[in-house]
Chain A
Amino acid sequence: MAEPIKKDEAAVDVTAVEAAIERKVDRGEPILQVRNLVKHFPLTQGILFKKQVGAVKAVDGVSFDLHQGETLGIVGESGCGKSTVAKLLMLLETATAGEVFYKGQDITKLSGRALKAVRRNIQMVFQDPYTSLNPRMTVGDIIGEPFDIHPEVAPKGDRRRKVQELLDVVGLNPEYINRYPHQFSGGQRQRIGIARGLALNPEIIICDEPVSALDVSVQAQVINLMGKLQDEFNLSYIFIAHDLSIVRHISDRVGVMYLGKMAEIGTDEQIYEHPTHPYTQALLSAVPVPDPEARANRERIILTGDVPSPANPPSGCSFRTRCWKAQEKCSQEAPVLAVPERFKGQDTPAAHSSACHFAEEKQIVPVH
């Protein structure tokens, strides 16, 4: 007897969620709000009784907002958890703790029909266009596959036309619909990946290193395409990359991650021109500048050592082991991501969120 009631409850819930998702968000309003997102991968020992002996803290309390129509860049070294954040937002991994609000709905708690509806609106473009496309499927099948799961977007008879439209949108010849991925170059394949991401008219696209596998001359083409599509379809991007100059070009706001935590977040100008976190400063100064004149007169902060293991992060501030400013306080107290005390209430570009006890500006040659 209890079952039908449960079902009813669920049904009400789903319609409420669906209604919330249908709602249009104004430009500049937050569309995605991430709060204290945590993902720990367990480390186990033993064969039969897998005893948990620790955890890899891949993402350890990350919070940020994504506004409608903007591009949020996320940068950081390999192993800092930026790709895990992407997977958590796509719900490809279940979060250990924390919430992801999409238009006010916590999507980490959803399941069934409501989850399916949310997934339609958040799509992903992957890094490697060579392995993210099935070699045995034609381009038409790859781009049309999302329609099998969400038939309401394109009725059966309409699909071929729809796929050809998408090919045209991303700058490929619509006649290529019956070709296989191996017949395309890297840049063209990435366009196919983007077309697949666009198929369901999503509102958010998460791009995990979309151009790092491409040649320099082709990178610019793909970046331009993504900019054009953003204007055309009013998309919000989360753009994950390690190339700081490309991130600066495309992003409205930038977040810097280190060892599963957000070290600093702000507008592109705040981060690139007025970084206050020592890690951001080191990262920016390490980027080679394509100008030989700058070679002699730029100060470079060369960090020593490697990123510590996320299975056993340092106490307090996770950056302290490589930081030249580290003091006693850094090992005892983890700094919170907030506008530093000294810049509070001031109208300077340095007044943005930075997770450092000793946040201050430092003159460095900016990345172009």
Chain B
Amino acid sequence: MTTSHVTADVPAQRGTDGETPVLEVRDLHVEFKTREGIVKAVNGVNYSVKAGETLAVLGESGSGKSVTAQAIMGILDSPPGRVAKGEILFKGQDILQLPEAERRKLRGPKMAMIFQDALSALNPVFSVGNQLGEMFRVHQGMSKKDAKAKAIELMDRVKIPAARSRVGDYPHQFSGGMRQRIMIAMALALEPDLIIADEPTTALDVTVQAQVMDLLAELQAEYHMGLILITHDLGVVADVADKIAVMYAGRIVEQAPVHELYKRPAHPYTRGLLDSIPRLDQKGQELYAIKGLPPNLLKPPTGCAFSPRCPKAQDICRTELPPLVPVSEQDGTELVGRVSACHFWKEQIHG
């Protein structure tokens, strides 16, 4: 890998406070072989998460946010998918180089994932107690009896009422919110250092969503874990994230601390997303809409992938891929943790 690549250096700058991040993704490329050709789902993603920190990955469907997570967890469907290039450093160690048996030891005790649809993620033919206990039986060699006791403890932890009597119930006997709690319990079972939550509340109602997000935040603080929250909901992100990475067509187009991003986005795509939220003073008027459609990753547009939909696109945008560059104040002082992949980020942020 060449170090001259601007984007590759960005996460490294973040570790200046001496703390190594729990997870660092460097220049990750993932592609899928299909009959129509090679789909480049992830094209050079960089991000890092520290212990106790929440990184939100924001993007539309097909932007590569879930594929990145799958690559980190090592659960990418391969074939057809494969990691073409890049490094995934878990506590400084490149886990892509590890043999499968070693990676398996990481999944569960060190990193865990919460999936969107709890009903299809849980096995319908085993009781939830059995599935929760499996974590302890497989990874810690516990006896069935001890594992069951642990499962009850966990269910209590995620506030499932009457855990003792419900430990033998099957997934279909729980409501959506309860099932998502069980998923969270399973991910937390071995107190991992990193949790990846892929749209954990998309399938839930708002009142239940609030319960689940609260629980997740509380447990994260208690165990001091790193959390990667994958979502497309700008509201959820504003509530829980510390920093945000916005993805578009397999690349990160902007990364910023949460307050900064909402206050003054440095990429037209982020601007567009924020503007398309219905606002009180716009009632009765047209909503701002990003025109056009997300790109086809079989034939991504040349230059900036967002250029066909961008209101500010110029000739250079259609020919040259903008690198992810650090964003600075008008007087040149660097804004810590902010990067943008737009040729005209200065105009975007400073007007």
Contacts and interface: CB of A to CB of B under 8 A. Distances in A.
Q: Do A and B come from one complex?
A: yes
Interface of A: 77-78, 185, 187-188, 215-221, 223-224, 227, 242, 244-246, 248-249, 268, 282-283, 286-295, 300, 302-306, 366, 368
A220 B262 CA distance: 19
* Main SS class of interface, B: helix
A368 B280 contact: yes
A292 B258 contact: yes
Contacts of B234: 216, 290
B287 A224 contact: yes
A292 B213 CA distance: 15
B272 A217 contact: yes
A293 B263 CA distance: 9
A306 B234 CA distance: 25
B233 interface: yes
A366 B207 contact: no
A292 B258 CA distance: 7
Contact of B206 (A215, A286, A291, A304): A286
A217 B278 contact: no
Contacts of B109: none
Interface in B272-312: 272-274, 276-280, 282-283, 286-291, 293-294
B93 interface: no
B154 interface: no
A350 B34 CA distance: 58
B207 A292 contact: no
Contacts of B214: 302
A290 B287 contact: no
Interface stretch (B16-24, B121-129, B235-243): B235-243
Nearest to B60: A215
Q: How large is the interface on B (under 10, 10 to 19, 20 to 34, 35 or more residues)?
A: 35 or more
Given A77-B206, A217-B289, A288 B233 contact: yes
B208 interface: yes
B276 A282 contact: no
Interchain residue pairs A-B with the least CB separation, the first 4: A288-B235, A249-B278, A220-B289, A286-B210
B262 A292 contact: yes
B209 to A, nearest CB: 7
Contacts of A292: 238-239, 241, 258-259, 262
A77 B237 CA distance: 21
B331 interface: no
A185 B295 CA distance: 11
A293 B258 CA distance: 9
Residue of B61, B237, B276, B279 ringed by the most chain A CB atoms within 10 A: B276
A223 B283 CA distance: 12
B64 interface: no
Given A220-B287, A220-B288, A248-B283, A289 B262 contact: no
Contact of B207 (A218, A246, A282, A289): A282
B272 A303 contact: no
A306 B273 CA distance: 32
Given A245-B277, A249-B282, A290 B293 contact: no
B209 A291 contact: no
A28 to B, nearest CB: 16
Given A242-B206, A286-B206, A288-B238, 13 more contacts: A215-B61, A216-B273, A217-B276, A220-B289, A223-B287, A224-B286, A224-B287, A224-B289, A248-B283, A289-B235, A290-B235, A294-B238, A368-B280
A187 B274 CA distance: 19
A286 B239 CA distance: 11
